[in-house]
Structure 1
């Protein structure tokens, strides 16, 4: 009897030791995360799609080896709202980042709050060295009154950095050739200015971070690096000559090959950035920026390989929003058309997921929970998150697939204003409300009109009614005051 008891004790100890060892091994093999997002990088500028005339061999390789979400959108195609959704997993009305952060909007609470539980908070609380590099654009500068000069940039104090222990960032500026940054321990008046193209300099900083020669991260901990690249955001012309040389002898007439490119602003549109006639000639520089961004991403990927970190690092490539670049007679963003609304979203982790193209109607608030699910942290997704964990689709498992994607455009001073809409598998629908409350409608049958050349609103009353009803139900479910 005594012998049996001893045997059982030894067996329990052995099993316990084995369990502890497995737990330790699991802890040691937590994947790293490198989340790269380039500002104003449109989906057609992914070289492997053969749409825009770009050279993107490094991003192409990520897509060929990873999961390319072919229908990802920026639900509010602006810098700050995308970042707010990415960090909180919530839509703009819930997280408060309704438009781009600046001093005229700070009084309305249009900034990321210190008490909000963010993607980076979850990672830091679960053993990750979290790092942020590049453009932040989520802080509210000191408020200014109407008529005063609007301030865009802001220093982010350490207590507002949501778990990021390494910081090499700025609020927002468009100084691509002479950028400045606040480092981890720098005070408000201690900027570091660099005489180098910002993506190239940031790649230098990221490579140094990977090498960890200056103890930028905890050596034994997994890392999570968020790299926000400003180009190809305007000014497009601030790009090294070697990338411009790829388009020597070309101009916008030969490069802009989309059927919907126009050179005047359409009179029937009630939303969208004007100025196509003033800036369309910069198209070659936009594509040059794309080539340069890809080149710097390639440098970082090579450094991951050389440091032995590549195999265990999830690499994500995305963008804040797209760029119209003359399509529909518009420039830039903040509109429902595909060139602004659609964004790249590639998840690369060959160690665990196979290569495929995925047509899930994924939204920006879904990015955080989906990646946490992939990283084995699905039980740590905050209850405040409105997005869904779709990590199972990465493993070809069934999920409850969404049937539409929200389009949102509003102002913090009046959240009931602006535009709302959605995209489903067949149509894009949007409605714009003017200052008097009158609405203007836009409906495109994407399945047969991929360049959205014809607004079919008013041609089929039953279809129009269906779109309005579905939009109203969606907005009601989100407590959106726009429908009142």
Structure 2
């Protein structure tokens, strides 16, 4: 029996509603058409709304508490994907797949942590990951660790020489993806294509895309209020509504640019008669507030931050249409293997949801969980200076069809613990939560607290419980 190919395409900071079939102002004709013949859910949730922790969960199927990638792989701290982790790519290579990774990696420790002037020329959070175990079974690796020069991006291949693109990074990377598939005729392929846009800087997008949108015509949802929009990760915010409208044009423009490149990929697969024998997943690492709740960026529990697109196509096994099953990051690895008929390693903690997707059903206990720890060095330094464990920081949440419940300890030491409860039916924009210091005051909170607590115990997030 012929093995299916696998193509996983994921963008950075692409909110779940920023697609035409969910928000008609967003121009994504290729993705909209793709969704018509695919499975999709509007209840996909990132396990951690931050780049590196998400990627660790995606490739290992294990929760952040186990991967140890609590924050972004940044200078001064040794967060990185461990060599001995068993990744989806390691298994696929053993199964006879030609494996590839193209685009943003952000799973290696910055070279500046160990060398002032690395041979690769890596700066800041960036790093060249040489061939070997740190590439986790990817035969073809054309990537970079962390850089946001979308209009003049660099990459590394098999040497420490920087290779520069002369075009917008998604255009360049999609071309490389097509080349990879073209050269995979002798074996089934498994390709992970990681686009950085629409991640900031929003201005790094070709004007042909941003000009599709007009500032005065941008429609914000009702939870966009005020004139100053801060960033939870310590980066620069946005200081006015006018600036926010300009950013929205650029953000949606980048999404439209991605749509064009996704259409290019689909056209190629169709031309080569590979489309129906390729499992195609289109998703994202986390969302973007774009003004909602007074924020830009990510790293909160709000839907704009944790909600992501999730569109899956494989006609022989996956029925088309919406099934709002709850999917979180660690479920992706085992679910893909369930569809592919590959044994799931014991290390994986996520759920194999393939039978529910294939049958059009949902688990009886349909839940998703998301977490966030400290995100930047300024917060980590505060914990180091007080001698406290940064793993006690952040928030943990459980999302059900009816409610979202959050335990928040804050990103700085000694913050007061608060509990948040949202009614998803009565408060879909999460504007009027019940907030309390004592979750036992509310029966719904109490029940969800017990469920969330049990989950934290199960995944080994024991420090947070103390």
* Structure 2 length-normalised TM: 0.88
Deviation at 1:309, TM superposition (A): 1.4
Aligned partner of 1:224 among 154, 179, 190: 190
Q: Is the contact between residue 144 and residue 150 of structure 1 (CA under 8 Å) also seen in structure 2?
A: no
Deviation at 1:457, TM superposition (A): 2.5
Deviation at 1:395, TM superposition (A): 1.7
Aligned partner of 1:438 among 388, 411, 416: 416
Partner of 1:5: none
- CA distance in structure 2 between the partners assigned to 1:402 and 1:319 by the alignment: 25
Find the residue that maps to 1:419 and give its secondary structure. Answer: strand
Deviation at 1:275, TM superposition (A): 2.0
Partner of 1:79: 51
Aligned partner of 1:423 among 399, 403, 409: 399
Deviation at 1:58, TM superposition (A): 1.3
Partner of 1:162: 136
Deviation at 1:264, TM superposition (A): 4.4
Residue 40 in 1 paired to residue 13 in 2?
yes
Which runs of no fewer than 5 residues in structure 1 stay unpaired? 1-25
Distance 1:134 1:150, change over 3 A: closer
Deviation at 1:474, TM superposition (A): 2.2
Find the residue that maps to 2:373 and give its secondary structure. Answer: strand
Aligned partner of 2:171 among 197, 200, 212: 200
Cα RMSD of the aligned pairs, angstroms, is 2.3
Residue 139 in 1 paired to residue 101 in 2?
no
Residue 462 in 1 paired to residue 443 in 2?
yes
Residue 373 in 1 paired to residue 346 in 2?
no
Find the residue that maps to 1:292 and give its secondary structure. Answer: helix
Partner of 2:370: 407
Distance 1:143 1:180, change over 3 A: closer
Deviation at 1:439, TM superposition (A): 0.8
- CA distance in structure 1 between the partners assigned to 2:69 and 2:459 by the alignment: 15
Larger deviation, residues 74-83 vs 278-287: 278-287
Partner of 1:97: 69
Partner of 1:13: none
Q: Is the contact between residue 432 and residue 439 of structure 1 (CA under 8 Å) also seen in structure 2?
A: yes
Residue 482 in 1 paired to residue 445 in 2?
no
- CA distance in structure 2 between the partners assigned to 1:421 and 1:224 by the alignment: 32
- CA distance in structure 2 between the partners assigned to 1:430 and 1:32 by the alignment: 39
Aligned partner of 2:146 among 164, 172, 185: 172
Partner of 1:392: 355
* Structure 1 length-normalised TM: 0.85
Deviation string 1:138-193 (CA, Å, 9 cap, x unpaired) is 00124649xxx99311111111111111111111100110011112x2x22x0101
The correspondence of residues 167-316 of structure 1 with structure 2, limited to 5 A, is: 167-183=141-157, 185=158, 187-188=159-160, 190-212=161-183, 217=184, 219-247=185-213, 250-251=214-215, 254-264=217-227, 275-277=237-239, 279-280=243-244, 281-316=246-281
- CA distance in structure 1 between the partners assigned to 2:252 and 2:393 by the alignment: 34
Deviation string 1:450-481 (CA, Å, 9 cap, x unpaired) is 11111223496333333333332222222321
Larger deviation, residues 428-437 vs 224-233: 428-437
Q: Is the contact between residue 256 and residue 283 of structure 1 (CA under 8 Å) also seen in structure 2?
A: no
Distance 1:314 1:100, change over 3 A: same
Deviation string 1:96-146 (CA, Å, 9 cap, x unpaired) is 11111112221xxx210111100101100000000001000000124649x
- CA distance in structure 1 between the partners assigned to 2:448 and 2:336 by the alignment: 32
Q: Is the contact between residue 279 and residue 313 of structure 2 (CA under 8 Å) also seen in structure 1?
A: yes
**Deviation beyond 6 Å, 4+ runs, structure 1:** 269-274
Deviation at 1:266, TM superposition (A): 8.7
- CA distance in structure 1 between the partners assigned to 2:155 and 2:236 by the alignment: 31
Find the residue that maps to 1:323 and give its secondary structure. Answer: coil
Deviation at 1:429, TM superposition (A): 1.6
Distance 1:272 1:328, change over 3 A: farther
Count, aligned residues: 436
Partner of 2:385: none
Deviation at 1:285, TM superposition (A): 0.5
Partner of 1:125: 94
Deviation at 1:271, TM superposition (A): 8.5
Partner of 1:23: none
Larger Rg belongs to = 1
Larger deviation, residues 464-473 vs 162-171: 464-473
- CA distance in structure 2 between the partners assigned to 1:91 and 1:365 by the alignment: 7
Which runs of no fewer than 5 residues in structure 2 stay unpaired? 115-121, 375-379, 381-388
- CA distance in structure 1 between the partners assigned to 2:435 and 2:445 by the alignment: 6
